[in-house]
Amino acid sequence: MLGRATARLALAGRMPPVLSKYVKSPAGRLQLASHCVHPRRRSFFTSSGLNWGNNSKPWLTPVVAVSVAVGVATFALVGYGMFYGPSAAYPKPVRKLLREGGMAYMRTADKQDLPKAVDCYTQALELLDEMGATDPKMSRDSPHVTGLVARIATVYTEMGDLDSTISTYKDLLHRILGDDGMDDPRTQVALLLDRELPKAQRENVLRALGGANKLAETYEARAARSKRRSVLLADPDMEAADVKEASRWYQWCLQVVMLTYQNHFNHLQLEQDKPLVNTPSFDPSTLPGYFSLEVMTSLFYNAATFFAGHGQFQYAVPLLQRGLDLLRRGADGKEVGVCRSCVLMSHLANAAVMTSDLPAAERWAIEGLALAKQFPKNDDCLGGFVALTYDLGAVYEAADKVDSARVQYRQAAEVARSIGDSGAVALATAALDRLEQ
DSSP-assigned states of every residue in 369-388: HHHHTT-TTSHHHHHHHHHH
**What pLDDT sits at residue 255?**
93
The answer, yes or no, to whether residue 239 has pLDDT greater than 50, is yes
Measured CA to CA, the distance from residue 28 to residue 35 in angstroms comes to 10
Kindly state the average pLDDT of the residues 301-313. 88
**pLDDT-based confidence at residue 93 (cuts at 50, 70, 90):** very high
**What pLDDT sits at residue 375?**
93
**What pLDDT sits at residue 183?**
86
Non-local CB neighbours of 407 within 8 Å, separated by 6+ positions:
393
The answer, yes or no, to whether residue 264 has pLDDT greater than 50, is yes
**pLDDT-based confidence at residue 65 (cuts at 50, 70, 90):** low
**What pLDDT sits at residue 425?**
92
**What pLDDT sits at residue 58?**
67
The answer, yes or no, to whether residue 312 has pLDDT greater than 60, is yes
Q: How crowded is residue 186: how many other Cβ atoms within 10 Å of its Cβ? A: 15
**What pLDDT sits at residue 416?**
92
Of 11-20, 116-125, 330-339, 362-371, the one with minimum mean pLDDT is 11-20
**What pLDDT sits at residue 43?**
27
Mean model confidence pLDDT for the chain:
79
**What pLDDT sits at residue 23?**
29
Measured CA to CA, the distance from residue 436 to residue 402 in angstroms comes to 9
Q: If we measure between CA atoms, which residue out of 70, 68, 67, 55 comes closest to residue 398?
A: 55
Give the single-character DSSP code of 236: G
Non-local CB neighbours of 198 within 8 Å, separated by 6+ positions:
none
Kindly state the average pLDDT of the residues 22-46. 28
**What pLDDT sits at residue 365?**
95
The angle, 0 to 180 degrees and rounded to 10, between the axes of the packed helices 402-418 and 422-436 is: 160
**What pLDDT sits at residue 84?**
62
The most confident of 30-34, 48-52, 367-371, by mean pLDDT: 367-371
Q: Can you give the C-alpha Rg of the chain in angstroms?
A: 23
- pLDDT: is 233 or 412 the higher one? 412
Quick: pLDDT tens for 146-184: 999 999 999 999 999 999 999 999 999 999 998 888 888
**What pLDDT sits at residue 72?**
41
**What pLDDT sits at residue 387?**
92
Q: If we measure between CA atoms, which residue out of 81, 196, 149 comes closest to residue 138?
A: 149
Share of the chain above pLDDT 90, in %: 49
Give the single-character DSSP code of 113: -
Provide DSSP, 304-358: HHHHHHTT-HHHHHHHHHHHHHHHHHHHTT-HHHHHHHHHHHHHHHHHHHHTT-H
The answer, yes or no, to whether residue 21 has pLDDT greater than 90, is no
Measured on CA atoms in the order 387, 392, 394, 395, is the torsion positive or negative? Answer: positive
- pLDDT: is 207 or 332 the higher one? 207
With b for 16 or more beta-carbon neighbours within 10 A and e for fewer, the 356-383 pattern comes to ebeebbbbbbebbbebbeebeebebbbb
Share of the chain above pLDDT 70, in %: 76
Helix, strand, coil content of the chain in percent (nearest 5): 70, 0, 30
Non-local CB neighbours of 123 within 8 Å, separated by 6+ positions:
97
